Chains A and B, each alone.
Chain A
């Protein structure tokens, strides 16, 4: 703790400036406190302390931006994650871990954007009349008039056809046509 205070003002000071309200910061849970002290106690060099300091600071700024300061669990968890990573790995592995995290954990920051509701509702929707010799590329099943739960197909503006239930679920995940990446308007493009 001492090293951080000497280097860049106290943590409280840092957070007060970045996060705004002092009283929110004061609600810092014990878990995070403990982890912080532990991490810094183990630090061996000026560089490492600086690095950890920046790391913790980024996490806190991130948290305050996301209004997560009230969630003690998230707060404690995030800090610990950060300190753990710092303690166990050298810098290269740590960077890799960060990349890995962003890429593989739930889509990370590169989550696809869903289409907006108005665009989805505006799609051409037809009842399947005859058995067609083509398949829906999402479920891989044929357009079959006898399938109770898949009686409708939807035609995208790019003319690609899918079962209604299939394409709607997809468009709620990502706004592009599964076959040609034609882009439907995304949420926020217009009011629903």
Chain B
């Protein structure tokens, strides 16, 4: 799996079954247990399909279970109501110990989303926990839409406009280009 997110696995220390970690200062690349990652992703897919959360969905790409496409609907009563956003999720070989990379594929005018679709959300970076999953990620991003963090924006224009919800809605509509796929 080294071709997938090779950089991700660089600092994962190895462990021994006895619970005595073979610790080195800067651990070399670990032989990643692909099987357990696959298992976990399959298990997530199952529960995501069973849960039937309204407004979110995700499914692996045809040929690669490490790459998923997700969809988020803008929540009602927010300026994003009625819009739908496609996201790309790419899981590292040492998932869930490292977070997946998540990007908007549909343009999104939002204080915490940049022009490339990158999302500034703490749980996808330093606040990631191995107990999070695709479902919680998508729900978090969905709630981020309606509750942006305007104090450290990636899109300063969006952050400045947030206080004017009426004008903001116009910008959302202007920037919104739903995918035809």
Residues of A within 8 A of B (CB): 96, 99-100, 103-108, 110-112, 114, 117, 120-121, 125, 137-141, 149, 152, 154, 164-166, 168-170, 172-174, 176, 178-179, 181, 192
Contacts and interface: CB of A to CB of B under 8 A. Distances in A.
Contact of B129 (A121, A140, A176): A176
Contacts, number: 86
Given A121-B20, A179-B131, A170 B97 contact: yes
Contacts of B10: 106
Nearest to A103: B125
A152 B15 CA distance: 14
A104 B129 contact: no
A174 B43 CA distance: 23
Q: Dominant SS at the B interface? A: loop
B120 interface: yes
B130 A170 contact: yes
Contact of A140 (B13, B44, B101, B114): B44
Given A121-B20, A169-B12, A169-B15, A104 B131 contact: no
Contacts of B130: 137-138, 166, 170, 173, 178
Interface in B23-56: 23, 27, 36, 39-40, 43-44, 47
Given A107-B126, A179-B131, A120 B97 contact: no
A181 B129 contact: yes
B150 to A, nearest CB: 15
Given A96-B154, A107-B125, A172 B21 contact: yes
Contact of B101 (A104, A111, A164, A165): A104
Contacts of A192: 23
Interface in B1-17: 7-8, 10-13, 15, 17
Contacts of A178: 129-131
B129 A106 contact: no
B36 A139 contact: yes
A117 B21 contact: yes
Contacts of B19: 120-121, 125, 152, 154, 164, 168
Contact of B96 (A108, A138, A154, A179): A138
Contacts of B43: 140-141
Given A100-B118, A117-B23, A172-B13, A112 B126 contact: yes
A159 B130 CA distance: 17
Contact of A172 (B15, B96, B126): B15
A170 B94 CA distance: 10
Contacts of A137: 130-131
Contacts of A164: 19
A165 B118 contact: no
Interface centre among A105, A141, A174 (most CB of B within 10 A): A174
Contacts of A120: 19, 21
A174 B12 CA distance: 11
A165 B133 CA distance: 19
A153 to B, nearest CB: 11
A105 B10 CA distance: 12
Interface centre among B20, B27, B96, B129 (most CB of A within 10 A): B129
Contacts of A173: 12, 97-98, 130
A121 B10 CA distance: 23
